[in-house]
Amino acid sequence: MRFDLRKGGQDMSEAIFDLERQAVEKRLDMSRREFLQFCAALAATMGLPAGAEAAVAKAVESARRPSVIWLHFSECTGCSESLLRAEHPTIEKLILDVISLDYHETLMAAAGRQAEEARKAAMKASKGKYILVVEGAIPVKDNGIYCKIGGHTAIDLVKEAAADAAAVIAIGSCASWGGMPSTDPNPTLAQGVADVLGRPVVTIPGCPPNPYNFLATAVHFLTFGKLPEVDGLGRPKFAYSRLVHDNCERRAHFDAGRFALEFGDEGHRKGYCLYKLGCKGPETYANCPTQLFGDAGAGTWPVGCGHPCIGCTEKGVGFQKPIHMVAKLKNVEPPVSYPKVVEEQGKTSFAAMAAVAAIAGAAAGGAAMLAKNLGREHGGGQDQRNKHDGAQ
């Protein structure tokens, strides 16, 4: 690229920025169009207004990549597995060019003492600037002896890492509020990160969570120097402000009273609403039906695949309520005319039968009077027309 330094500072700045942009495109292995589409998608995911993709692009191109230290505790590594399946960008582009993943037990080459030394070195090098990501619940019973790494309890490790972090993100339901490990009877007294630290943190629940919810949160921090707006449970509003039920592709069937009653029945095969099979979508906040999973096209989320939502992003629902328990409807009640899962049967009392008979008799009498009046009105109208015709 050629440029004339004599044209002034502004032209020189634009030229330098152009070089930086080309370098980013080369690192990400994306064309300019693909890169802008990626930034626009992130901006849309975060719920930013039109034009915000320019700020996102500039931040990704020129801002220093945020250092990320990722800790694992009581979990199945499903959250990391979800991150590995990100496609826009792919995982190697994500951890090498968008963020700087400096410590992650599953993805790093180091192990044992070398890994712990890398964690401490990363924390020291980016003190006060790194993002701490915690995956997994933290057992607190018996001073946390049920989860140790390198001879240190999860309690001590998370408190040490959080002390100098610019931001703390709990990824997955386990880290957000205990998730699967905290299910009754919870023998290790597993808790979420916020409860252990005693202060609010950003939570990205899900089992597993959508990787783009995490990526958008990290890029929001990169772009604006702060984490996105969250709800009362610490969840980013751009991803957890709407009920699954609101955007579900089967919602029209719910409103029309069409439900699958058994797996594999006619309604289930036709794609009817799964509410009566225990779908927790009406009481669960998440963007699953719009964000989808795996970049594999339409229907790539639990309900789209024919299984009820289990409410994994909702504290007190996922891993707490039985899977097939009918959900509590938060913002809509079905009409009483909708058939129940099990219709109630019983004997009708004499008083009830008398009341029904009285109502039926009144209805019959009203119908007879209506017919009589209709006939009278018709006859009266005909008489008036006959008089009119005779006068002429």
pLDDT in tens, 338-369: 566 666 665 555 555 555 555 555 555 555 55
Tokens of 137: 């619940």
In the chain, % of residues over pLDDT 90? 47
Q: Which of 345, 362, 381 is the last residue of a domain?
A: 345
Place of tokens 């990391």: 80
Nearest partner of 292 among 139, 111, 88, judged by Cα = 88
What confidence score (pLDDT) does residue 377 get? 44
Residues 173 and 265 placed together within one structural domain of the fold: no
Alpha-carbon Rg for the chain, nearest whole angstrom, is: 31
In the chain, % of residues over pLDDT 70? 69
What confidence score (pLDDT) does residue 188 get? 96
Residues 198 and 250 placed together within one structural domain of the fold: no
Residue 7 within a domain: no
Residues 205 and 72 placed together within one structural domain of the fold: yes
Q: Which of 322, 345, 368 is the last residue of a domain?
A: 345
Return d(Cα 85, Cα 91) in angstroms, integer: 7
Residues 190 and 88 placed together within one structural domain of the fold: yes
Residue 228 within a domain: no
CATH number, position 314: 4.10.480.10
SS (H, E, C) the chain: CCCCHHHCHHHHHHHHHHHHHHHHHHHHCCCHHHHHHHHHHHHHHCCCCCCHHHHHHHHHHHCCCCEEEEEECECCCHHHHHHHCCECCEHHHHHHHHCEEEEECCCCCCCHHHHHHHHHHHHHHCCCCCEEEEECEEECHHHHCCCEECCEEHHHHHHHHHHCCCEEEEECHHHHHCCHHHCCCCCCCEECHHHHHCCCCEEECCCCCCHHHHHHHHHHHHHHCCCCCECCCCCEHHHHCCEHHHHCCCHHHHHHCCECCCCCCHHHHCCCECHHHCCCHHHCECCHHHHCCCCCCCCCCCHHHCCCCCCCCCCCCCCCCCCCCCCCCCCCCCCCCCCCCCCCCCCCCHHHHHHHHHHHHHHHHHHHHHHHHHHHHHHHHHHHHHHHHHHC
Residue 1 within a domain: no
Determine the distance from the C-alpha atom of residue 379 to the mean position of all C-alpha atoms in its chain, rounded to a whole number. 67
Residue 354 within a domain: no
Residues 78 and 198 placed together within one structural domain of the fold: yes
pLDDT, tens digit, for every residue of 11-50? 655 555 565 566 666 666 667 777 777 777 777 766 666 6
Q: CA dihedral in degrees (328, 332, 336, 339; nearest 10)? A: -60
| pLDDT higher than threshold 90 for residue 301 | yes
Residues 82 and 152 placed together within one structural domain of the fold: yes
What confidence score (pLDDT) does residue 316 get? 93
| pLDDT higher than threshold 80 for residue 156 | yes
Residues 206 and 276 placed together within one structural domain of the fold: no
What is this structure's pTM? 0.72
Tell me the Ramachandran region of residue 307: left when phi exceeds 0, alpha when psi lies from -120 to 50, beta otherwise: beta
Question: 116: domain range?
Answer: 66-210
What confidence score (pLDDT) does residue 1 get? 44
Residues 246 and 137 placed together within one structural domain of the fold: no
pLDDT confidence band for 190 (50 / 70 / 90): very high
pLDDT confidence band for 223 (50 / 70 / 90): confident
What confidence score (pLDDT) does residue 376 get? 47
Residue 361 within a domain: no
| pLDDT higher than threshold 50 for residue 381 | no
Provide the domain count of the chain. 2
Residue 54 within a domain: no
CATH number, position 145: 3.40.50.700
Residues 70 and 206 placed together within one structural domain of the fold: yes
Residues 319 and 255 placed together within one structural domain of the fold: yes
Burial of 13 (0-12, 13-18, 19+ CB in 10 A): exposed
pLDDT, tens digit, for every residue of 241-270? 999 999 999 999 999 999 999 999 999 999
pLDDT, tens digit, for every residue of 101-154? 888 888 887 888 888 888 999 899 999 989 999 999 999 999 999 999 989 999
What confidence score (pLDDT) does residue 5 get? 45
| pLDDT higher than threshold 70 for residue 288 | yes
Return d(Cα 384, Cα 134) in angstroms, integer: 88
Residues 341 and 258 placed together within one structural domain of the fold: yes
Mean pLDDT of 162-187: 95
Indicate the average pLDDT of the chain.
80
Nearest partner of 39 among 24, 55, 16, 26, judged by Cα = 55
Residues 196 and 292 placed together within one structural domain of the fold: no
| pLDDT higher than threshold 50 for residue 74 | yes
32 to each of 29, 57, 64, how far by Cα in Å? 10, 10, 20
Residue 294 within a domain: yes
Mean pLDDT of 222-227: 81
Mean pLDDT of 290-301: 85
| pLDDT higher than threshold 50 for residue 378 | no
Mean pLDDT of 316-339: 80
Residue 147 within a domain: yes
Q: Is the dihedral of CA 276, 278, 279, 281 positive or negative?
A: positive
